[in-house]
């Protein structure tokens, strides 16, 4: 695998690691593990939806004399809890896992978050490699070292920052994704354009047909570009202490609340975030950050083009408001909102009056 597939390097306090993004590169994972980890045994933890790729990884590992063991869990956010984590701990203990052995997270964001949390905590830390298999995971959750599980009270409330040895994203895997999941993933890349890169946003407006069909060259290029944006932000502000990384949470305050209230059943993550971005856009307009409705209309029309929701139904806005106030991004009791002031530029703002927030939530039930 040559450097053309190197999308970015994440540079953080624990060192730096590469993110590889390419078409049909999964069979090279063994040689990369030999180069970056040097382990005799790997534990592949995957969900049932991606079992077809387990054997490909095993074959690659076997070619470099790494023994592989596999643990399969049910797919979906419902599995992302401490009970599942305990079952993985028990399995690793039964396999006599050691600190120098490798954990491979194969799957979407749920697997990446949860298996990353296991790697961070079992034996006080085992080497971790992410192999994301959804667009959302490739561009977002596999980058940055956030690992966590959910509690009934909210999403990702128990977690840590734990960086992988590397991330390998094989874009060809996305060919098997349902259209709805693919579009949910594009929501995060569109978000990167909205907050940091107007040119990327323009590409999504002008190249939608090629991206819908997952054109190998363009889709790989866009994913690399989006990965590079997030890797750069994470490198500057690994643990969200400087106010830079929080920009990546555009749309997530309302989005996470929607997921919590609906128990993760009604909306995919990108869908909830797209609604959240519309809510944040309304707030930005009401507080005077956004001077023209054209920005809101442009954002909305692009979401509609990618078949992403821009409003919610049959959800009590008061419940969403309550769930938002359990959000991890609060400071001194206030929600730290990420808001646009133009396409390609975002800022943070707290002390938003509750009345403006509630008005914006109500508008999400009407548009």
DSSP single-letter state for residue 74 = -
Known catalytic residue: 240?
A: yes
Q: Which of 225, 157, 153, 237 is nearest to 186 (CA)?
A: 225
Q: Which of 224, 225, 269, 329 is catalytic?
A: 269
Known catalytic residue: 363?
A: no
Strand partners for 146: 161
Known catalytic residue: 16?
A: no
CB 285 within 8 A of CB 293: yes
CB 87 within 8 A of CB 103: no
Known catalytic residue: 252?
A: yes
- The Cα 151–Cα 300 span in angstroms is 32
Helix (H, G, I), strand (E, B) or coil at 146: strand
Known catalytic residue: 101?
A: no
- The Cα 158–Cα 105 span in angstroms is 18
Q: Which of 83, 96, 124, 206 is catalytic?
A: 124
Known catalytic residue: 249?
A: yes
Give one DSSP letter per residue of 37-73, joined into a string. T--SEEEEEEEGGGHHHHHHHHHHHHTTT-EEEEEEE
Q: Which of 17, 32, 165, 256 is catalytic?
A: 256
Known catalytic residue: 325?
A: no
User: Tokens 């540079």 — which residue?
Assistant: 11
Q: Which of 5, 49, 249, 336 is catalytic?
A: 249
Q: Which of 32, 101, 230, 300 is catalytic?
A: 230
What b/e readout covers 94-128, taking b as 16+ CB neighbours within 10 angstroms? eeebeeebbbbbbbbbbbbbbbbbbbbbbeeebbb
Longest distance between any two alpha carbons in the chain, whole Å: 62
- The Cα 123–Cα 348 span in angstroms is 38
Q: Which of 49, 77, 130, 188 is catalytic?
A: 188
Known catalytic residue: 245?
A: yes
Known catalytic residue: 146?
A: yes
Q: Which residues contact 114 (CB under 8 A, 6 or more apart)?
A: 79, 80, 84, 85, 88, 147, 148, 149
Phi, psi for residue 366 in degrees, rounded to 5 = -110, -30
Q: Which of 245, 271, 300, 336 is catalytic?
A: 245
Known catalytic residue: 217?
A: no
Q: Which of 17, 130, 146, 225 is catalytic?
A: 146
- The Cα 96–Cα 230 span in angstroms is 36
Helix (H, G, I), strand (E, B) or coil at 329: coil
- The Cα 16–Cα 300 span in angstroms is 37
Q: Which of 77, 238, 240, 271 is catalytic?
A: 240
Q: Which of 165, 225, 252, 300 is catalytic?
A: 252
Catalytic annotation, residues: 124, 146, 188, 230, 240, 245, 249, 252, 256, 269
């Amino acid at each position: 695998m040559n450097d053309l597939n190197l999308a970015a390097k994440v540079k953080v306090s624990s060192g730096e690691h590469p993110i590889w993004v390419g078409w049909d590169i999964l069979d090279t994972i063994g040689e990369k593990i030999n180069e970056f980890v040097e382990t005799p045994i790997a534990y592949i933890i995957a969900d049932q939806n991606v079992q077809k790729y387990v054997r490909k990884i095993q074959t690659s590992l076997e070619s470099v004399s790494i023994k592989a063991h596999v643990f399969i869990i049910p797919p979906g956010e419902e599995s992302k809890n401490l009970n599942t984590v305990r079952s993985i701990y028990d399995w690793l203990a039964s396999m006599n896992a050691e600190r120098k052995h490798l954990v491979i997270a194969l799957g979407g964001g749920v697997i990446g978050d949860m298996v990353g949390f296991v790697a961070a905590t079992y034996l006080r830390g085992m080497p971790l490699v992410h192999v994301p298999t959804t667009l959302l995971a490739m561009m977002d959750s596999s980058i940055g070292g956030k690992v966590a599980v959910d509690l009934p009270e909210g999403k990702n409330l128990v977690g840590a920052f734990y960086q992988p040895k590397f991330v390998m994203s094989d874009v060809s895997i996305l060919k098997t994704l349902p259209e709805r999941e693919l579009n949910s993933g594009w929501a995060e890349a569109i978000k990167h354009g909205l907050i940091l890169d107007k040119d990327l946003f323009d590409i999504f407006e002008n190249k939608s047909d090629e991206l819908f069909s997952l054109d190998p060259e363009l889709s790989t290029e866009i994913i690399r570009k989006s990965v590079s944006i997030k890797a750069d932000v994470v490198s500057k502000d690994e643990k969200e202490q400087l106010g830079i990384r929080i920009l990546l949470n555009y749309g997530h305050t309302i989005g996470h609340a929607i997921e919590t209230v609906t128990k993760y059943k009604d909306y995919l993550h990108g869908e909830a975030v797209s609604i959240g971005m519309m809510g944040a856009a309304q707030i930005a307009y009401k507080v005077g950050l956004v001077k023209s409705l054209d920005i809101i209309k442009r954002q909305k029309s692009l979401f509609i083009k990618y078949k992403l929701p821009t409003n919610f139904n049959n959800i009590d806005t008061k419940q969403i408001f309550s769930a938002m106030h359990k959000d991890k991004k609060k400071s001194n009791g206030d929600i730290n909102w990420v808001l646009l002031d133009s396409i390609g530029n975002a800022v943070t703002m707290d002390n938003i009056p509750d009345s403006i927030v509630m008005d914006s939530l109500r508008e999400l039930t009407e548009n």
